[in-house]
Amino acid sequence: MKAIQVLKLAGGAILVAASLQANAQTTDQSTAAPAAAASPTDAARQQLRQSRSEYRAKRAANRRLERQVRTALARDGRVSVSNITVRARDGAVTLQGSVPEAPQLDRATQAAKGVAGVTSVRNALTIRPVGS
């Protein structure tokens, strides 16, 4: 047990020594970045903020498309939407769940394809008669 602690302590000391050596390096003023430039951590933070906002915008667009497809299915009138789940990802829509009759499978696919922004539709619906 003590040997493991000694190895951990030695490894930690090596890491500290290596980090001190890395910080002790000097830069030549002719090759140094201008003082007005952002530091690497600021650039990383900015990129992280940008990627988060892009992710949130993409997720909001996917949810909006899901709502539009659900609305189109409900407005169709010939599709029972009570057991249908709609998933969207970058325009690709997946219909999951069950419908009571076979013609509703194709009708749901056609209704989803009619929504603006839908690039493809994957129909994973199953037929489950009412009461089953």
Length of the chain counted residue by residue: 132
Please indicate whether residue 34 or residue 64 has the higher confidence score (pLDDT).
64
For residue 91, list its beta bridge partners. Answer: none
- Give CA torsion, residues 57, 62, 67, 68, to 10 deg: 100
| In a domain? residue 116 | yes
Q: What is the pLDDT of residues 37-96, one digit of tens each?
A: 557 788 888 888 889 999 999 999 999 999 999 999 999 888 889 899 999 999 999 999
* Distance in angstroms (rounded) separating the CA atoms of residues 72 and 44: 42
The DSSP secondary structure of 94-116, one letter per residue, reads EEEEEESSTHHHHHHHHHHHTST
Indicate yes or no: pTM above 0.75: no
In this prediction, residue 36 carries a pLDDT of 47
| In a domain? residue 118 | yes
Judge whether 108 and 121 are in contact, CB under 8 Å.
no
| In a domain? residue 20 | no
| In a domain? residue 76 | yes
Span 117-132, average pLDDT = 89
Domains held by the chain: number: 1
CA dihedral sign, ordered 36, 41, 47, 52: negative
- Domain range for 75: 41-132
Q: What is the CATH number of the domain that holds 99?
A: 3.30.1340.30
| In a domain? residue 6 | no
| In a domain? residue 34 | no
